[in-house]
Amino acid sequence: MQKTTTHSIHYILFYKPYGVLSQFTDAEGRPTLKDFGPVPADVYAAGRLDAGSEGLLLLTNNTALNHRLTEPRYEHPRTYLAQIEKIPSEPSLQKLRDGIVIEGKKTRPAVVTLLNDEPHFPPRPVPIRFRKSVPTAWIEITLSEGRNHQVRKMTAAIGHPTLRLVRSKIGFLTLEGLKPGKHRLLQPEEIKMLMESKKVRNFVA
């Protein structure tokens, strides 16, 4: 996404592929958002994903909305699908729901579900490590905070390291209709719903 000059307010959904940074420049020359087509010059990701994670990013130059989406006290929900090592027990899943102490601070309660079926995501360019003797499982986890590497640290704390991580939802916004590396503009009704849900005023669609 090459940046272009504009004075309008923009809202863009992007399916970030594996191995791409959630930014537009990198001194080390790693893949960034600029590699995926033109976007307005002043948009930024409202909540990043690390290079090894995939999934939904919301790019906007609405600074009030960006603040509401990233400031922990507003408890904005984000949903992830995580492929983890081994099959977790119900008590282990409950620990995730109740909160895990990470670096001296307990995580907020989360909504966690063990999936019966593997989600249909495109193959990752770098396959996950595979061990014949170790089964894997997929869980869906919805958080209301965005601490650094939070999902990975939470699953590791209960003995189930995360092998693949995909953010599937930001609030009510989903990956539906997007493929890795592709983006779309939010529709006016989606913008209205987003503004109302976050109580952001004085916006331009």
Q: Which of 52, 46, 41, 61 is nearest to 14 (CA)?
A: 46
Q: Is the confidence at residue 6, as pLDDT, over 80?
A: no
Give the tens place of pLDDT for each residue, 181-198: 999 999 999 999 888 887
Domains 3-71+172-198 and 77-170 share a fold: yes
- For residue 105, the cross-strand partners are 102
Give the tens place of pLDDT for each residue, 158-180: 999 999 999 999 999 999 999 99
Q: What's the rounded Cα separation, in Å, for the pair 143 and 159?
A: 19
Q: Among residues 26, 35, 42, 50, which one is catalytic?
A: 50
Q: What is the mean pLDDT of residues 91-120?
A: 96
Extents of the domains making up the chain: 3-71+172-198, 77-170
Prediction pTM value: 0.90
Any idea what DSSP says for residue 95?
A: H
The CATH code of the domain at 77-170 is: 3.30.70.1560
183-185 vs 11-16, strand pairing mode: antiparallel
Pick the CATH number of 3-71+172-198 from 1.10.10.10, 3.30.70.580, 3.40.50.620, 3.30.360.10: 3.30.70.580
78-85 vs 101-102, strand pairing mode: unpaired
Q: What is the mean pLDDT of residues 127-140?
A: 89
Active site residue 117: no
Give the tens place of pLDDT for each residue, 30-42: 999 999 877 777 8
- What does the pLDDT read at residue 156? 97
